[in-house]
């Protein structure tokens, strides 16, 4: 998955968790920028959700809060890890239930690397 300008973004350890009650799901992955220049994740989308946003969870005064991250930076040669308690991709307005064992496409659009299509497996 090499981009035209040398940036490479690989997503590994792709996992989605679905919160049935509220029609949303979280996706955890790793973006690995193996390119020679820094890159930015501009937008994300999936046919299963109305919107996909990057959110960051942080603990402030003992209370876990989450905030949308509009543009995510990934420096050259660095990995950005999405994990519980930190960054996650939030699928909002799910158009159909996500079923454990199934997979669906997710597209991440990077400024340098361009669009990257991944397959995300749904876990319990
Ligand atoms: Cu959130």
Overall number of domains in the chain:
1
Distance CA 116, CA 114 (A): 6
> What pLDDT score was predicted for residue 111?
92
- 59 beta partners: 64
Beta strand 114-122 with 9-19: parallel, antiparallel or unpaired?
A: parallel
> What pLDDT score was predicted for residue 15?
58
Q: What is the pTM of this model?
A: 0.80
CA distances from 11 to 58, 82, 120 (A): 23, 10, 10
Domain limits at 20? 2-122
Ligand 1 mean position, distance from CA 112 (Å): 26
Ligand 1 mean position, distance from CA 88 (Å): 8
Here the CATH number for the domain that contains residue 10 is 2.60.40.1890
Low-confidence ranges of the chain (pLDDT < 50): 1-13
């Amino acid at each position: 998955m090499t981009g035209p300008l040398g940036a490479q973004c690989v997503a590994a350890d792709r996992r989605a968790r679905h919160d049935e009650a509220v029609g949303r799901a979280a996706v955890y992955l790793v973006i690995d920028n193996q390119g020679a220049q820094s890159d930015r994740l501009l937008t994300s989308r999936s046919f299963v959700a109305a919107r996909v946003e990057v959110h960051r969870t942080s603990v402030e005064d003992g209370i876990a809060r989450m905030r949308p991250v509009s543009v995510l930076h990934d420096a050259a040669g660095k990995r950005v890890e999405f994990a519980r308690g930190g960054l996650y991709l939030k699928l909002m307005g799910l158009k159909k239930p996500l079923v454990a064992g199934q997979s669906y496409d997710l597209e991440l659009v990077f400024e340098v690397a361009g669009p990257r299509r991944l397959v995300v497996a749904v876990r319990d």
